């Protein structure tokens, strides 16, 4: 079953909010359908996510005496949660995955 790019964008917005604990209203300006994204970093992507304000980038690593936190681990969780939202809305729809584009942009593509 086909799902719209806007529905994929919304699924990732909800997933980011859930995994990172960020209010959706604080991140909605940073998540765009790829073909209409203002930066046009990867117009062939389904979604472009800008990590310059409230959204942590996938390439960040934090070290502490408690251990090492790789943001990429949370982005794998975001993929899983977003794909659950997508499957709930459109059973049988394609799966999607994130790829860091650079230190400030994450792109989402269909598998």
Structure tokens at 8: 């994929």
Strands 105-110 and 47-50: antiparallel
The whole-angstrom separation of Cα 107 and Cα 111 is 12
Q: What is the pTM of this model?
A: 0.93
Q: Residue 60 has what pLDDT?
A: 87
Judged against a pLDDT cut of 90, whether residue 17 lies above it is answered with yes
Structure tokens at 11: 């699924």
Q: Residue 104 has what pLDDT?
A: 93
Cα dihedral across residues 49, 46, 5, 59: positive or negative: negative
Q: Residue 62 has what pLDDT?
A: 83
Structure tokens at 44: 């062939």
């Amino acid at each position: 079953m086909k799902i719209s790019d806007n529905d994929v964008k919304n699924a990732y917005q909800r997933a980011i909010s859930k995994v990172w604990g960020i209010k959706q209203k604080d991140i909605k300006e940073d998540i765009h359908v790829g073909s209409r994204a203002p930066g046009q970093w990867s117009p062939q992507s389904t979604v472009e996510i800008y990590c310059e304000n409230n959204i942590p980038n996938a390439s960040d690593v934090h070290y502490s005496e408690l251990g090492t936190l790789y943001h990429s681990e949370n982005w794998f969780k975001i993929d899983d949660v977003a794909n659950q939202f997508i499957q709930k809305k459109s059973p049988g729809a394609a799966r999607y995955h994130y790829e860091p584009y650079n230190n400030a942009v994450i792109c989402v593509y269909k598998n």
